[in-house]
Amino acid sequence: MATVYALLEAEGMTEAANFVRLYPARAEQTGYDNWNGGTEIWEIFFDVPARDYAQLGQQRGQLEEQITSHLKSVLDAETQDWYSAKIVPAREQRSDWRKNQTSVPRQVRTNILDGLKLENVVWHGCLDGVEFLSRLFDLKKLPSFDSRFDDAAGDIWQHCINNDDWELDWVFTDDRFRLIDGPSETFLRFLCEVVHPIVRPDRDEALKLASQFNDQLRQAGWEVYEEERIAGRPRFSYREISNHGSHAVSRARNVADSLDAGWMAKEIERLEHAVDRDPALAIGTAKELVETCCKTILTKRGVAINKSDDLGDLTKKLTKELQLVPDGITDAAKGAESIRLILRNLTQITSNLTRLRGLYGTGHGRDGHHRGLQPRHARLAVASAVAFIDFVTETYRYRELTKAKG
């Protein structure tokens, strides 16, 4: 096939040449003709992923004809057997094919890879390109772009290590790895490997990159998350994001942004990861989120906070400072009592979260028979916490605006 590739390339049939180079070929005898002493009939099958096969459309016939004619040029001198090229869709080896598959859009992938370029991130980290990619792909089975080498491992070594004459971001657009247009799993596994402890042992750097990845991935319903730790460093995997609680988390982010509260943003990140995986941590973090919000607003309003103040004390101070239960609503107003009750109950969320954390959240030892809550309970705690911080933050902004106007 290398000779067929060389002939096609020499005659300017670039698309056919690249096709022969990129896709694996297999020979199969499909018939036998007794004429003239017997002739075997062979087909050279090119197994192409279903997506690529569909995109070829009518071009398939042209490629088959060009490859077949050059196969004959190479083989006629050696055999009387008949050979022809046939492009077929590759067999999908997936047991979950009946499930709805959400892909990572091309634009999201491009944005993430552009971000790596802008930050001059060395995607292979402490490893060289061959070591890194060998963790994800069998480079010995992928073709070489350099005729001097038999496989991808050889030409990557030559151009990235020996000569170092390829651009840093060459892998992003390399057709062999298909990070832009290939399966979502391939792209997501690549991102997880970029922040793997072996590749990037600096924990803070890995967390920063993972956060940047998630800024884009969450728009498409995906995220990378900490699955386990290796020597105290996070190892990431990927998953589709559950729709449960996504609105609440989005609202919490808006609160953190409006208050310019970086620590709240970290708590929100922890919340999002923990709701389904670690409900106890999510409940404890929901309480901490409310506490951070109270302290942030009180500080901005110049209200003194004592070291001994617990969440109940903070809530009382915030209620008084922002007048969360106003006295100005008269009984004559329609629904006045209901409004007062809702506002009073809203302030009770904080004390209930504290009790819930004490019973089921993180921070306390448990006996061997303790049974924790389920993710749905954690989502309830998170939604309650976000309802509180959303309301008090809007009230804070309203008070600030009123004060500015005079």
Q: What is the DSSP letter of 120?
A: T
Amino acid at 150: D
Contact residues for 138 (Cβ-Cβ < 8 A; gap 6+): none
Q: Residue 235 in contact with residue 226, Cβ under 8 Å?
A: yes
In a 13 Å sphere around the CA of 230, the CA atoms on its Cβ side amount to 12
| Residues 139 and 160: beta-carbon distance below 8 Å | no
Cα atoms in the 13 Å half-sphere on the side-chain side of 35: 6
User: What's the CA gap between 400 and 107, in Å, rounded?
Assistant: 39
CA distance 241 to 243: 6
pLDDT of residue 132: 95
Residue reference for tokens 């409900």: 279
- pLDDT at 114 (0 to 100): 95
Pairing of strands 222-230, 25-33: unpaired
Helix, strand, coil tally for the chain in percent (to 5): 55, 10, 30
The answer, as to whether pTM is greater than 0.85, is no
pLDDT at res. 362: 45
Q: Tell me, what's the pLDDT at 247?
A: 54
The pLDDT value given to residue 369: 43
What is the DSSP code (8-state) at residue 374?
Answer: -
Task: Identify the pLDDT of residue 188.
Answer: 95
- 315-320: long-range pairs with CB below 8 Å, 24+: 315/347, 315/350, 315/351, 318/294, 318/392, 319/347
Per-residue confidence in pLDDT tens, the chain, 406 aa: 888 888 988 888 888 888 888 788 888 888 877 666 667 888 989 888 776 787 777 788 888 999 999 888 888 878 878 888 898 888 766 655 555 455 889 999 999 999 999 999 999 999 999 999 999 999 998 998 888 888 999 999 999 898 888 999 999 999 999 999 889 999 999 999 999 999 999 999 999 999 899 889 987 888 898 888 899 898 999 988 754 445 566 666 666 666 766 667 667 766 666 776 677 777 777 888 888 888 989 999 999 999 898 878 888 888 888 876 555 555 545 555 665 566 566 556 656 666 665 665 444 444 444 445 666 777 777 888 888 888 888 888 888 887 777 6
Paired with 25 in beta bridges are: 46
Task: Give me the residues paired with residue 238 across strands.
Answer: 224
Q: What's the one-letter identity of residue 218? A: R
| pLDDT of amino acid 244 | 44
- For residue 328, what pLDDT is reported? 56
Radius of gyration of the CA atoms of the chain, in A: 31
Q: What's the sign of the alpha-carbon dihedral 186, 188, 189, 195?
A: positive
